[in-house]
Structure 1
Amino acid sequence: MWYISMHLISLIFLCSSAFSCILLSLGCLYYNMVKVIEWDIMTLNSSSIIMTLIFDWVSFMFLGFVLFISSMVLFYSGSYMEGDKNFNRFMYLVLAFVMSMGALIVSPNLISILLGWDGLGLVSYALVIFYQNEKSANAGMLTVLSNRVGDVAILLSISLMFMMGGWNFILYGGYMNDSSLLLMKYLIILAAMTKSAQIPFSAWLPAAMAAPTPVSALVHSSTLVTAGVYLLIRFSPALMGSESQSVLLVVSCLTMFMAGLGANFEYDLKKIIALSTLSQLGVMLSVLALGFADLAFFHLLAHALFKALLFMCAGVIIHAVKEYQDIRCMGGLVYSMPLTSTCMNLANLALCGMPFLAGFYSKDLILEVAFMSNMNLLAFILYVFATGLTVCYSFRLVYYSLTGLFNLSSMSQVDDSSVIMTSSMVALSLGAVMGGSFLSWLIFPEVYMICLTFTFKVLALGLSVLGALVGYLLNITGVSYSLKSLKDYGSVVFMGSMWFMPFLSTLELGRASLKSGGIYLSAGDYGWSESLGGQGLYGCFMNQAKHLQVFQSNSAGIYMKSFLVWVIVVCFMVI
């Protein structure tokens, strides 16, 4: 019973903190108030190294959502992880994860943000390898090494930002021009791309599904993958009008399209939802690249609510169907799990942008603003296809898991028996229904002015309807569809394997890096640098120290020998 009391205490504390943060956010919005706390640690060449905390409506609102979703996930974990021998370790790791995200949210300083940034990377590795098998170890190593690229980019950005006289990127963001700090902007975008798994760093996100499902619900909704988006939202004044925006737009649109395409060929339930997260991250970064940071933040919050719910429903289904994750081994769950099916349908429809659910208010506005903006034809086509693919894989998932034929064995007992898991899902369902309207009224008291033709206005709705028809009807004829896909097996494998990115990120790059690393080790560390580097200096100093030690031993014989040497030298000089 100890673990039940622990997760109840965590639930009460996190829920109360979440509602307090949301109330403070409303106060900051109403009074237009920002509080900044600074501790001056040291001064280096007229640049002050300061520990900075910022408390405004953005940080309070995001912190409130993170704490609320974390409380639901921890409450859900009390039943999901029941009987696990490492349950208390799991709880401490999740709480450390939430603390790291909180430190990142309230840090506007490029140095102090490393506390949360590196904390997320470290704790995510510990959570991905939680089950301690070979698959988890490989996935954890891919995750942590991919994120280290972004950590190095942040460290390089710190050194480049030294010329600004400080590291507060919110304060100095508007003064960063392309002529002197363009490289730093690219490094910040690189850091955000690694954390938010954009191309070519996308392989670690589906691999991180080796973690327990409650961790996936937390990671993919409001913590790890959203850290890069949040960093760029805070950094957006520096990116306005920069040529780095076009690079970010192309990369994010490609990621959005690639993830939607891959999800339509995937059969692992958790990986389909992970690829949908990747697609939505591309939506957030693309609209941020167009210059609408407020819309990116709006979609970030709305997406967090229904994506956490979607993962929780997936966890309940996986538990019920004897730990299978292949959606072809499910089917007909709407009859035996009506509550879970209702919540999952809610989350799926919110993801598709069903009118008046949470995803509609942010996604429809993003699409209309994108269609109205001055973007190139490639980005527009990728936007259009990605929107249709999102609805397509959502309805494909609904067909295979909730409706369709019952594909489980006759001895399976499938029901909504866990009150703890379903109650936390119902709480998040309210957010998935009402969260979008609540946020739109708060964040946008003045409506956006949208000027579109009738064709563009109905384009998003038409794409959604077409994607739903294709995703559902195409999979009803599953046998003929699968046989036709075998005719072009190479293309299907290419589209279904994230464009070979997992292969390129692990096998070939691993071989090349290990081989080149061995050459550098033998020629460098074990070669010239061994004798001319640290070891050579060490030997030289030790030899000199021996001579000094002999001279310092006050031996009379040495002084006599030295005296005779000097006498001989003087005699030769006189002669």
Structure 2
Amino acid sequence: MFFKNSICFNMFFFLFLMSMSMMMLMIYFIMNNMVIFLEWEIISFNSIMVKMSILLDWMSLLFMMFVLLISSVVIYYSKSYMSSEKNLNRFIILVLLFVFSMVLLIISPNMISILLGWDGLGLVSYCLVIYYQNIKSYNAGMLTALSNRVGDVLILMVISWMMNYGSWNYIFYLEFMKNDYEMIMVGSMVIMAAMTKSAQIPFSSWLPAAMAAPTPVSALVHSSTLVTAGVYLLIRFNLLLENIYFLKLFLLLSSLTMFMAGISANYEFDLKKIIALSTLSQLGLMMSILSMGMPDLAFFHLLTHAMFKALLFMCAGVIIHMMNDTQDIRFMGGLSSYLPFTFLCMNISNLALCGIPFLAGFYSKDLILEMVSMSNLNMFIYLLYYISTGLTMYYTIRLMMYLMINSNNLISIYNLYDEDYVMLKSMFVLLIMSILSGAMLSWLIFVNPYMIYLPFNMKMMVIYVSILGGLMGYLISSMHIYSMNKFIKTYTLSNFLCLMWFMPSLSTYGVSYMCLFMSQNLLKFIDMGWSELYSGQGMNNILKNYSIFYNFYQMNNFKIYLFSFIIWMLMFLFIMLI
């Protein structure tokens, strides 16, 4: 037990110190406008050199600081949450591998090392999703791994496209080759790879399925590591995005992802899945603002979102832990009396998610929505943005009503207490950051402030839709269990919206059935058919028949020799007569 505690504390201390040192370095780099680029040549083949490159600038250092801070807190939190785990060291090592893969991705300006980090995230995420080792976890892990494999293949295709340039350091080619056809192809494949990793439509179904992982892993995955890898890669490639021909389609898909996740969260009753769908909604927001050419705003929201989303998952972990592993919010209610500090943290993180003024989410979300209002966009995308903002408030208020204010629906009496100080101390760090990080980052990232001029009604649109969404969430969650159920009248529509527009079914059953049918035909007609006939079985039959024939001759049978002699004599006479 001492060793378990010591490894958690040692890793927490090490990662926290690393995070603080990254913060000092980042401030130094920003003040002196510094960039450090390191290269190590691993192998040289003809004119192609495989190099390990490291790029240290204010952006990579700032993101690393956030990743290391959240991972240190999550590991400290795991000391209590995973205390019943027999092999805690294995869990901590897997989390550290996960963090290391993300750090490798952050500091890489080279496609080869990006592939290592990208593939490492996919592989370790599979190991963590199947950690509890049941059928549901295995299915979720396979869906997660195979969805991410699509992105891995696209990154491999980018590497093969970039062989024409003699180097894989993409950072050198972005500026002066952004109008080149090949770099446009590279940008298109990078966008598609980022869509798989950040779970945009049509690859959205793996993200709620990944909730089968332990809650500390969910806090790490959904805040600053796996799902943000695609957004970060596109922020680095943002110069290529100007001339991509399907950028408008990318904007539409990311806006629809935001809308779809917001609606699905309102129909969900699984606590962790509601928070996962809110992550999907925020990822759609980041991707859509990226496609509009504002990478600094996407990066700003990425960092602020990481803090309050990690805190939200940790609060959910405490609730699930205390509720004897129950995740259904219909069995909860009135919990704020038993878990006051947890619900303080949960309220603040939820309000930050909604963009309530002067919390972390407000600074980035409000800025994004006001820039959308100023942009030259059609009405459809504009409405999708604001409806999705209202839906965020909607499912947040609904969740808080079910957990805190509604009557106690506990299926049995549980041991509810709020005295696990290891969890509380780790949550307190993120609580402070969820309050302060928005203001802190807005001073750090934006040297020159955005000048936004809007009419009063458009300026107040965020407030209008938030109030309306919150009111709707309150009304829906206050419906009594015996009153008219919202599902009965519109069962088909509710089913469609609850199941994420049937995307999990399409991406699992649809794709797997199609692939299985194709592979069955290939096996039947190619492997077991033509290739068998003309290679393995065909050669076997020919050699077998010849060997039987020769064996028959070699048995020294007089009749065969006599018969052969007569045939030869007849043939000789026939030739002589001619």
Same fold (TM over 0.5): yes
With over 3 angstroms needed to count, the CA separation of the structure-2 counterparts of 1:4 and 1:520, relative to structure 1, is same
Q: What pairs up with 1:157-556 in 2 under 5 angstroms?
A: 157-174=158-175, 175-177=177-179, 179-409=181-411, 411-479=413-481, 483-529=485-531
Counterpart AA for 2:106? I
The separation in 1 between residues aligned to 2:433 and 2:534, in whole angstroms, is 64
- Match for residue 78 of structure 2? 77
What is residue 50 of structure 2 aligned with on the other side? 49
Contact preservation (8 Å) 1:257, 1:386: yes
Q: Deviations over 1:196-224 (max 9, x none)?
A: 00001111000000000000000000000
Give TM-score, length-normalised by structure 2.
Answer: 0.90
Corresponding residue for residue 97 of structure 1: 98
Instruction: Report the 3-state secondary structure (helix = DSSP H, G, I; strand = E; otherwise coil) of the residue aligned with 1:349.
Output: helix
Paired residue type of 2:493 = S
Letter in 2 for 1:447: P
| Alpha-carbon distance in 2 for matches of 1:51, 1:272 | 40
Show the counterpart of 1:116.
117
CA distance in 2, matches of 1:496, 1:6: 41
Alpha-carbon distance in structure 1 between the residues aligned to 2:541 and 2:390: 68
Contact 2:331 2:411 in 1 (8 A): no
* CA shift for structure 1 position 480: 6.9
Aligned-residue offset at 1:450: 0.6
Secondary structure of the 2:267 match is: coil
Q: For residue 162 of structure 1, what is the amino acid of its counterpart? A: M
Q: Please report how far the alpha carbon of residue 513 of structure 1 lies from its aligned counterpart in structure 2 after TM superposition.
A: 1.1
Secondary structure in 1 matching 2:500: coil
Question: Which runs of 5 or more residues in structure 2 are unaligned?
Answer: 543-578
Q: CA deviation at 1:166?
A: 2.0
* Cα 1:406–1:176 shift into 2, 3 Å: same
Q: TM-score, normalised by structure 1?
A: 0.91
Q: Distance in 2 between matches of 1:251 and 1:28?
A: 36
| Contact 1:474/1:481 (8 A) holds in 2 | no
Offset at 1:376?
A: 2.2
Cα RMSD, aligned residues only: 1.9
- Cα distance in 2 for partners of 1:372, 1:295 equals 14
Q: Aligned pair in 2 of structure 1 residues 178, 466: CA closer, same or farther (>3 Å)?
A: farther
* Residue 454 of structure 1, CA deviation: 1.4
| Deviation for aligned residue 1:479 | 3.7
In structure 2, the CA distance between the partners of 1:71 and 1:377, relative to structure 1 (3 Å rule), is same
Query: In structure 1, what is the equivalent of residue 132 of structure 2?
Result: 131
Deviates more, 1:236-245 or 1:316-325: 236-245
1:451-474 deviations in Å (ceiling 9; x for gaps): 211121000111111111111122
Cross-structure match for 1:4: 5
Residue 527 of structure 1: how far off its partner (Å): 3.6
Letter aligned with residue 455 of structure 1:
N
Aligned residues: 540
C-alpha separation in 1, matches of 2:540 and 2:211: 48
Secondary structure of the 1:49 match is strand
**Distance in 2, Cα, partners of 1:277 & 1:321:** 23
User: Within 1, Cα distance between the matches of 2:484 and 2:60?
Assistant: 48
Distance 1:482 1:70 in 2: 45
The answer to whether the 8 Å contact 2:161/2:182 transfers is no
Alpha-carbon distance, 1:483 to partner: 2.0
What's the offset of the Cα at 1:45? 5.3
Amino acid at match of 2:253: V
Partner amino acid, structure 2, of 1:19 = M
Counterpart of 1:150 in structure 2 is: 151
Q: Secondary structure at the match of 2:52?
A: strand
Moved more, 167-176 or 142-151: 167-176
How far is 1:111 from its partner?
1.4
- Say whether the 8 Å CA contact 2:183–2:240 is kept in structure 1: no
1:486–1:353 distance in 2 versus 1, CA, 3 Å: same
Distance 1:255 1:416 in 2: 36
| Residues 415 and 31 (structure 1), Cα distance of their counterparts in 2 relative to 1, 3 Å cut | same
Which deviates more from structure 2 when the two are superposed, residues 439-448 or residues 236-245? 236-245
Task: Tell me, in whole angstroms, the C-alpha distance in 2 between the residues paired with 1:182 and 1:105.
Answer: 23
User: Mind listing any 5+ residue stretches in structure 1 that lack a counterpart?
Assistant: 541-575
Maintained 8 Å contact 1:178/1:242:
no
